[in-house]
Amino acid sequence: MLDISLQEVRRDEIEKELVAKTDQNQVNVTIAGAIAQALWFICDYLLLKEHLTIIFISRLVVLILPLILIAFRKKIGINGSQCFLITAVLLSVNISFILNSFDENILLIYVFGYSILFVGAGALANWKLKYSIIFVVFSLITNLIFFNTISTIPLDVYIVKCIVPLYSSALISVLMINNRRKILIHELKITKALEHSNKRLEEQKNKINAELDFLIYSISHDLRSPLMSVKGLLALIAESEETNANVKTYLKMADGSIDRLDQTIYDILEYSRNSRTEILYEKFNVRQVVELINSDLKYYNEKAIDFQIHVNGNVEIYTDKKRFVTVIKNLISNAVKYSKTDNEPSFVKFELNEVGEFYEVTVSDNGVGIPKDQHGRIFEMFYRVSAGRVGSGLGLFIVKEIMEKLGGTISLQSEPNVGSSFTIRLPKIDADKAVF
């Protein structure tokens, strides 16, 4: 897949990225080359006796003109590489004139210095190969012109002490620039290929999410609605005077199966919503939310449940309300489902405390409890503590997923025939993140 993406990356796209990536680097190299002229002039003043005024003027031009080009490059319409090329051309004229202005003893000092300059430029510059060729050819031509015009050094000596070392370093510089440019281009191709692949994956993900939304709607509408219709028909048949006791027993079993299937569908919808939707922070009253949940579950079974609510501190919190309701409803409904069937009074207690930077919520009961060897598995998908109870095995798994999404934690303390206590810790959210 990556090879296909590499072929799809256009050359002009890479060139544009390359210029953007290296433009400031070329500007920095140009500024360094220009400033180096001031340092070189100190050497000129100490070592040269002739042509000092002309050399000073030429170095001043090489110093000032690049800085002007850099300052106004956006208005002129040139990039960092072009600024560097212009500076290099001016520098080549300057170097050629200076190298032919003194004797062979001083020549070696300047050749050594300029060779280091070339290699340094090769380590930092990044331009097209044609720019390198233009620079080297132009420099060689100007060097030969000034040699024929003003040099007093014999040709063989000049070739050995100047041309060979100087342009060997220039060749090394060209190879360094070209190789690094190839590496940068390849890196950019890979980067752009990954961007293209990520874009396609994002498009595919959006398409899958859209199809999943449609599927969830179908599950919600096309499956749950008929189930409720069947449940209603079963209730009508069960209430009929013509229905005998055995049939009513079977109808009650069928009704329980429908409840389990409906709960499974509902849990799948909740899991899908949690995994795909963004967190929406809002302010709400915790007590009111819990009272509403308790009222919905009050007549879940025949045994009366004592619902208790203890809120210590602020009753209004900032978090994702829908996800919070899903978590608390799951915990309270589990406490109701797994309440004891004997004559002992049953209770479900909700408690909210503020602990530092967290909200700590505890839902506890005196129900049947959970064996210790099952504590590590109750948050697994489709795991059910008791096969004889109504449930899909998704509830606590969804609770754990929501807590991870909200950056919180959930823990359990439970003992068989004593009861269970689930504690969740939610991070406090600043008011400016809340949505009202």
Binning pLDDT at 50, 70 and 90, where does residue 12 land?
low
pLDDT tens readout for residues 365-400: 998 888 888 888 888 877 776 655 556 677 888 899
pLDDT of 31 above 50: yes
* pTM score of the predicted model: 0.51
Residues 175-187, mean pLDDT to the nearest whole number: 72
Residue at 385: amino acid letter: V
Q: Looking only at Cα atoms, what is the longest distance across the chain?
A: 129
pLDDT tens readout for residues 43-86: 777 766 666 787 788 778 877 888 888 888 888 888 777 777 77
Give the per-residue pLDDT at 328. Answer: 93
Average per-residue pLDDT for the chain:
77
Residues 339-347, mean pLDDT to the nearest whole number: 81
Q: Which two tokens stand for residue 162?
A: 């100047």
CA distances from 97 to 32, 34, 50, 106, 198 (A): 21, 17, 12, 14, 55
Give the per-residue pLDDT at 35. Answer: 76
Q: What domains, with CATH codes, occur in the chain?
A: 2-200 (no CATH), 279-433 (3.30.565.10)
Give the per-residue pLDDT at 75. Answer: 84
pLDDT of 337 above 80: yes
Q: What is the percent of the chain with per-residue pLDDT over 70, rounded to a whole number?
A: 79
DSSP of 248-293: HHHHHHHHHHHHHHHHHHHHHHHHHHHHHSPP-EEEEEHHHHHHHH
Q: Which two tokens stand for residue 42?
A: 């100190």
- Helical H segments across 72-154, by residue range: 73-76, 80-99, 104-124, 129-150
Compute how many other C-beta atoms are within 10 angstroms of the C-beta atom of residue 141: 12
pLDDT tens readout for residues 102-156: 666 666 666 666 666 666 666 666 666 777 777 777 777 877 777 777 777 787 7
Closest among 85, 88, 89, 114 to 99, alpha carbons compared: 114
